[in-house]
Chain A
Amino acid sequence: MTVISSHKDAKALSFTVVAEFDAGVERVWQVWEDPRQLERWWGPPTWPATFDSHEFVSGGKASYFMTGPGGEKSRGWWRFTAIEAPHRLEFDDGFADENGDPIPTMGTSHAVMRLEAIDNRTRMTMVSTFDSAEALEKVLAMGMEEGMKQALGQIDAILAGSKVG
C-alpha cells in the first residue's frame, strides 16, 4: 500500500499522513510543482481539479477550481509560504469565491509537506492543520463523493506494471 501510516490528533485538529512512493524524491516533487500533474490527483475523479494559476515560489499563489458531478464549481486558493525544492513545501489552503478571491469566513488549513529519500523510494509526510469547521466540512463534502474504497487496491497493480524512466 502507498499510505503507510496516518495520525489524527482530534484535540489539535491536525492530521498527519505518511506515504511512500516507488520513485525518487525529484520525481515526486514534480507532482506538486507541475500543475498539470497536480490537477490529476488533487481532486477525486468525481470532483476533478483545474489549476488556472500556480506560482510555485515562496509567497506565490495558486488558484484552482474543482468541478462536481452536476457541473458545479468549487474554487480554492493556496499561498505558498515555504518552498525548498525538492524536500519541503508549505502552503495555506482556503476556499475562494467565483472570482477566485479568498473567502476569509470559510477558514483555512495549513499544510506542511516533506519528502525524504529512503533507498530508491520517497517518503512523503503531510501535516494538515485546520482552523475552521466550514473548511473541513466542505473538503469532506467533496472528497466523500467518491466511494472510499474505489481508488484503493488499484495501486499495487499499477505499480507492478511497466515503468518508464
Chain B
Amino acid sequence: MVVDELRDAELDRLFQAFADATRRDIVTRVTAGEYSVSRLAEHYAMSFAAVQKHVAVLERASLVTKEKRGREQIVRAHHDGLQRARRLLDEYESIWRQRADRIADILAEG
C-alpha cells in the first residue's frame, strides 16, 4: 500500500511543500506550463531569492523539476510527485466510503 511505498521523509517533504500558499500557487502555475524562476518571481511580492527558495522546497518534494537553460532556470511540474499526493488522498477516500457504508447500515436498522 501507498504508506509502505512512501518513506516518512518523503511524506514530510510533500506536506511541507504544500503547506505554503505561494508554493501551492507555483505548482498550479507550472502544471499549466513551464516557467523560469524570474518569470515566477514577477507574480509574487517577494525577492527573487525567496521565490528560488520556494522552488527548492518543491524540488526536494519531487513536485517540480528545475533545469538550467542559458542564464535562466526553468521550472516544470513533476507529475509523479503530484500523482503520489493524489494517491494518498485516494486511500483516505476509501476510509470515508467505508464509514458512509457503515452509517447506512446503522440507519437501515431504524
Binding site for B on A (CB under 8 A): 2-3, 6, 8-13, 15, 17, 19, 21-23, 27-28, 31, 37, 40-42, 44, 124, 126, 128, 130-133, 136-137, 139-141, 143-144, 146, 148, 150-152, 154-155, 158-159, 161, 163-165
Contact = CB atoms under 8 A, between A and B. Distances in A.
B11 A133 contact: yes
Contacts of A163: 108-110
Interface of B: 1-3, 6, 8, 11-12, 14-15, 18-19, 24, 27-28, 82, 85-86, 88-110
A148 B105 contact: no
B93 A15 contact: yes
- Judged by DSSP, the binding face of A is mixed
Nearest to A141: B3
Given A136-B15, A151-B97, 20 more contacts: A8-B89, A8-B90, A11-B18, A12-B24, A21-B104, A21-B107, A22-B107, A28-B107, A31-B106, A41-B105, A44-B98, A124-B100, A133-B12, A144-B95, A148-B94, A152-B98, A155-B104, A163-B110, A164-B109, A165-B110
Nearest to A122: B107
Given A12-B24, A133-B8, A133-B15, A140 B92 contact: yes
A122 B92 CA distance: 23
A2 B108 CA distance: 12
